[in-house]
Amino acid sequence: MNLRKILTLAVLLIFFMPVICTGQTPEKMKAEVKGKEIFEKLITAIGGPGKINKLKNVFSTMEITRIVSPTRQPKFNAEVVVEYPDKYRYLSLLKEGNFIMAINGNQGWMRIPPENTLTPMTDQDVKAAISNILRDPIYIYRNLDRYTIKLMEEKDFDGKRIIDLLFTGPAEFHLYIDAGTYLPSAFTYREAMIGMADQTATVREEIFSDYKEVDGMKMSFKIVIKSNGKKILEVSIKEYQLNIKLKKDFFKIKGGSPNEKK
């Protein structure tokens, strides 16, 4: 083999080495590069790296409407605290009493009225609850090397043009991004309902709208949740607070309710 052939072969090997090592086609690699580029535009749209890197936690209050039937749609108030990377607390104010769910790393518990008995969460329920954080663009941006983001297609969804990105890694889901604003429009994923005996996964959709600026970040104030295409919840956010002060044991798993925020 002459020198020219050897050099040509070397160039070809270098060019195709990523494909050989990863098993990816050039088309798939291009889709993943485009996917990350579009996700970075989303990060800029919601506030930019500077704001996101300073974000420790998010506290929100909301009114939730449960869609049982066209004539039965009870409402209740709730609070959610997310502290990155792996802490989550949900409180709903019900007529029967307060329902509380707390996640601290890989542990979780629920206190369910009216008995108010402390109940450890199953591994499956903890995984489902923490997946809310794993789908959060803020968490993803801080752990970008753990995710693969693939550009799928551009299509119409919920009355607008969206860009469909497929995420795999710590969580697998589709993120629909508004093609005009680059703000998140929806998540779609398969998941079983927390606390239900039937753990058959359903197709879930979380649809975001009514974006407003909060301390320099764009936040959605309306969320619609569907299960297998049927609307089951409507969420109207009343208030967001960013980087609130919490007591050190706010998320501790213990025999009573978590300490209230300061």
What string of DSSP letters covers 4-23? Answer: HHHHHHHHHHHHHHHHHHH-
Domain boundaries, the chain: 29-242
Q: What three-state secondary structure class fits 138? A: helix
Contact 36, 163 (CB under 8 A): no
Q: Average pLDDT of 177-181?
A: 97
**247 against 77, higher pLDDT:** 77
Of 35-39, 128-132, 154-158, the least confident: 128-132
pLDDT, tens digit, 9 for 90 and up, residues 33-92: 899 999 999 999 999 999 999 999 999 999 999 999 999 999 999 999 999 999 999 999
Least confident of 6-20, 35-49, 185-199, 202-216: 6-20
Q: Which one-letter DSSP state was computed for residue 92?
A: E
For residue 191, what pLDDT band results from cuts at 50, 70 and 90? confident
Write down the pTM of the prediction: 0.82
| pLDDT at res. 2 | 58
Specify the CATH class of 29-242 in words: mainly beta
Looking at residue 127, its pLDDT comes to: 86
- Compute the mean pLDDT over every residue in the chain, rounded to the nearest whole number: 86
Buried b (16+ CB within 10 A) or exposed e, 142-172: beeeebebbbeeeeebeeeebbbbbbeeebe
